[in-house]
Chains A and B, each alone.
Chain A
Amino acid sequence: MPESLLRCTGVDIEVGDVTVALSLELDIQAGQCWCLLGCNGIGKTTLLHTLAGLRVPAAGRIDLNGTPFKQLKRRHIARQLGVLFQNSEDSFPASVFETVLQGRHPHLHSWQWETDKDREIASGALTRLDLGALKNRNVQTLSGGERQRVAIATLLAQQTRLLFLDEPTNHLDLRHSLDILDMLRAECRDKGKAVLIVLHDINLAARFADHILLLLGDGEARSGSKQEILDTALLERLYGCRLIELETHTGTAWVPE
């Protein structure tokens, strides 16, 4: 029996006049890599925030490991679910290492200082994101891509079983994008974690994910395995443009006509 980490039952999500989802049913299980696709402004970020318990849905219930969000404290949620946001704010100076170390916050008591173990975990996350050399740099002086990697390293240092990432490949070059997606997939398969990421590139999604959630507008959503959902006709409807399907030795790819 697969282990359900996050389950939505009859969830309605609204933001302003936009209906993002109606009676959404979703079950994210350990070991699954989910990808969320949809047009600009359709509500992907709102959906992600709602699934992370940062927004309250208009109706329905969302359970984290079988317990509704309403009954959980933020610290408890943050030990199990980490979020990468689309844009980071750095109003105050902070070093890269200090920023990544903040990922350990949910695991510490409010009066407790970080231990050597926390520092080790943060250093490990820095190394995995290829940031070792930038350890002492001020985050305000980093490039967009470097900041994005710092944010991802912070998420890894949080050591949660569920990872939600809003456009993690933003600002990243192709090599770093692939490295990060491969790393996330390895986390899922080897450590029984689950990942949900928002992407705009269908081909990266096809390469990375095993499950897809599509937001089609007006609350209509489709979810299922990659094979079920990544269908040329459905993708053309999703983005409102004609696509050509190409068979390559790594799988199907889509390019605009």
Chain B
Amino acid sequence: MYVYNLVDQSLVNQRVQQFRDQVRRRLSGELNEEEFKPLRLMNGLYLQLHAYMLRVAIPYGTLSSKQMRALAHIAVRYDKGYGHFTTRQNLQFNWPKLKETPDILADLADVQMHAFQTSGNCIRNVTADQYAGVAVEEIADPRITAEVVRQWSTLHPEFSFLPRKFKIAVTGSKRDRAAVRVHDIGLIIKINEAGEMGYEVIVGGGLGRTPIVGVTIREFLPQQCLLSYLESILRIYNQIGRRDNIYKARIKIVIHELGAKEFTRRVEKEWKTIRDTAIDLPVGEYERIRAFFAPLPYQSLPKNDAGFSHLKFENQDFSHWVRGNTLPHRQSGYSIANISLKPIGGIPGDASAKQMEVVADLAEKFSFGEIRVAHEQNLVLPHVKQTDLYSIWNTLKEHNLATPNLGLISDIIACPGMDYCSLATARSIPLAQDISNRFSNLRRQNDIGELSVNISGCINACGHHHVGHIGLLGVDRKGEEYYQVTIGGSADENASIGEIIGPAIPYDEVVDAIERVVETYVDLRAKNESFIDAYRRVGKQPFKENLYVTN
């Protein structure tokens, strides 16, 4: 993992002192709310329905055991004993007190964490594939790129007041787990014919009010040109982005209105003037950062362990968990262990302080002290010996963290919705709980197979409903919660925006409607055909016909 140097640490420490003084001035009345609001937002502090909310940055979803323990400590000491992992691989505390927020930031700084750029019209916390460095099919580790982008974008003076927020995601695999095509900039690491590393650069993707799949504006950008090219994209956007209309201020609208060809021309023209300047990092700096992500001291182990196979044979529940929640690792004899934060009927993404401590302990004992956060709101132990999986599973089970539902219908993405969020127009979480309870039978879930249900409580789409195989968008209809259903969305390498199936339906009818959609799929699917493949084959009509049928 990356470790702060003196510059990183002093930057974070200075910000804590700065914010401590800003809070003092706010509480004393030297600053009014209008003056203070942009300052608190620069430190991830929102004012939500019931209280303040602090969003902590987890760069590219990578956490150490020590950092996870610090989050657990903050949850207990300053909050109500839990936190919420988000679709941006971050963590939100729902109940911090303003007067204690500087102390929270100081505790975060002690473990090399902060809340910079988790809000505001700046380059937000960079996200990446949660299996970075361990996925079997990976071409190159995206964490090096993500760390370079993190350092470049942190407090970047030119890009601290963009027309709107700006999100960058990186993947180093052909299988896209970072949803790069629905980010403002998506980077896919590629190796060219000469064996050189570079990026496919995708721009203008996004969800929210106007969901769009991004367009590739460069098939191959040499790695050493990354920052000058990003700088060029951001500079063009910063110049012509719509500051007059918040709904048209994202880069996707700029590209839509200008055309991808013209936007690319302007970027390339700008790039010609700044490439090969000091903006780009020297190779040595890439190597310095790469050293933090060097291969770990894995043991040489056989691909299959007889004892592990025996335990799977003896214990069906363990076997189900291994099959559902673990994946092969690059290193022989090791696995990637996913920890579901979606217990049946639970709150997606929530973890108690105790659960955080348990995960921190497991990571320290079994995974080189490393944890990942997935944008699907689950956690990952990325480097686990097969022979340790049984012990890990037993501990996870004791703490309600072993639900074997990864990628299944109960592995629901849900934003906090109107239970917490001041922007929301409807609740997300209780609907997720109801759907999870309805499909609680794991045998049935496995029979249905891979199926994502994503729920957003408003058009801002924090629950990524547009790219759920089934998406639900909560809307207000004269004070009542209604939900618009979309089908056919996908956030992976074949990204697509879900189609609206018809009129929104009231809260009480949603779960039955989802069940009818699922049963429609089960009835029409070909052998081994997934929900999304079936949808793409038959279109929306059969689903629409059944969605609105009522008895």
- A and B pair up: no
Residues on B lying within 8 angstroms of A by beta carbon are: none
